[in-house]
Amino acid sequence: MLKRAVVLAWVLVLVSAGSVSAAVDKRMIVGGTLASVSEAPWAVVLTNSQSSRPTGRWCGAALIAPDKVLTAAHCMTKPLSTYTAIQGRADLNDTSTGRSSGISKIWIHPGYNTSDNRNDFAILTLAEPFRRVAVIALETNPKADRKGAVPTVYGWGDTAGTGPDDTLQKVAVPDLGDDRCLANKEYVANGYAAAANVCAGNGTGDACQGDSGGPLVLNGRLLATVSWGKGCADPSYPGVYAEIASAAATLRQQVR
């Protein structure tokens, strides 16, 4: 499956490292619209000094406390000192906007592994907290992941020509319910699980390369984070997100 930050077999990780093979080509926001930092102040982008992109774009993240951001575990493939978190910068080419912080600590969910891609969570501690910025609450109700809900995903990733890259975008992605992804043998083989994942997107829009770890938001709460999928905005292959509710207790312990 394509992770959006790391390459696992045929999985494309949505990291924007620039070294992902064509076979594992996953997601950025495709088919979306421009988003403002005022509507999503908790949206954070992670850059990395070893990224091949001029802007350093690497992954997405969400501010869940003034000094904590939540992202994908599969994004954490480089030394701690190479990461920078940026808040309030819609266009990554405009370095006159937003604020930035180095990372002082990385915590990876102890249940994460690359064989089934579950618990794809990492919490980063900011060296310089983003104070006076709205944080986003974690969804704790597993029933929030339900067929028919329409959450919105945010990110700075690839757009496949549907918009400018390295610019904060958003797109509504219908929750398809777990049965849709469980019916896909490739997704099941890659570790999709009803309790651990959200299956969303009908082919009109999707997260893509560079969006890994970014927020999937429903009713003002963090429903899930971008994890993996095959292709971008392919109606046969929905996006797979790491569901927050099943891991909320563990994640909240790290925030406290």
pLDDT computed for residue 7 by the predictor: 35
Nearest one of 126, 87, 164, 136 to 244, comparing CA atoms: 136
What are residue 186's phi and psi, to 5 degrees? -65, -40
pLDDT computed for residue 24 by the predictor: 29
Tell me how far apart the alpha carbons of residues 3 and 192 are, in angstroms, rounded to a whole number: 12
Whether the CB-CB separation of 70 and 241 falls below 8 Å is answered with no
What are residue 40's phi and psi, to 5 degrees? -135, 65
Tell me how far apart the alpha carbons of residues 73 and 59 are, in angstroms, rounded to a whole number: 11
pLDDT computed for residue 163 by the predictor: 74
Greatest C-alpha distance within the chain: 47
Does the pTM surpass 0.75? The reply is yes
pLDDT computed for residue 165 by the predictor: 82
Tell me how far apart the alpha carbons of residues 6 and 242 are, in angstroms, rounded to a whole number: 15
Distance of CA 189 to the CA centre of its chain: 21
Mark whether 212 is an active-site residue.
yes
From 16, 51, 212, 227, active-site residue? 212
Q: What is the pLDDT along the chain (256 residues), one digit of tens a residue?
A: 556 543 333 343 444 333 222 222 333 477 788 999 999 999 999 999 999 999 999 999 999 999 999 999 999 999 999 999 999 999 999 999 999 999 999 999 999 998 899 999 999 999 999 999 999 999 999 999 999 999 999 999 998 777 788 999 999 999 999 999 999 999 999 999 999 999 999 888 899 989 999 999 999 999 999 999 998 989 999 999 999 999 999 999 999 8
From 120, 145, 158, 211, active-site residue? 120
Fold of 138-246: Thrombin, subunit H (2.40.10)
From 51, 74, 101, 175, active-site residue? 74
Whether the CB-CB separation of 12 and 229 falls below 8 Å is answered with yes
The neighbour count for residue 248, using CB atoms within 10 Å, is 17
Question: For 11, which DSSP code?
Answer: B
Mark whether 74 is an active-site residue.
yes
Nearest one of 50, 64, 62, 54 to 19, comparing CA atoms: 50
What are residue 189's phi and psi, to 5 degrees? -65, -25
Q: What letter represents residue 48's amino acid?
A: N
Which residue ranges make up each domain of the chain?
138-246
Mark whether 25 is an active-site residue.
no
pLDDT computed for residue 3 by the predictor: 60
What are residue 185's phi and psi, to 5 degrees? -60, -35
pLDDT computed for residue 239 by the predictor: 96
pLDDT computed for residue 2 by the predictor: 57
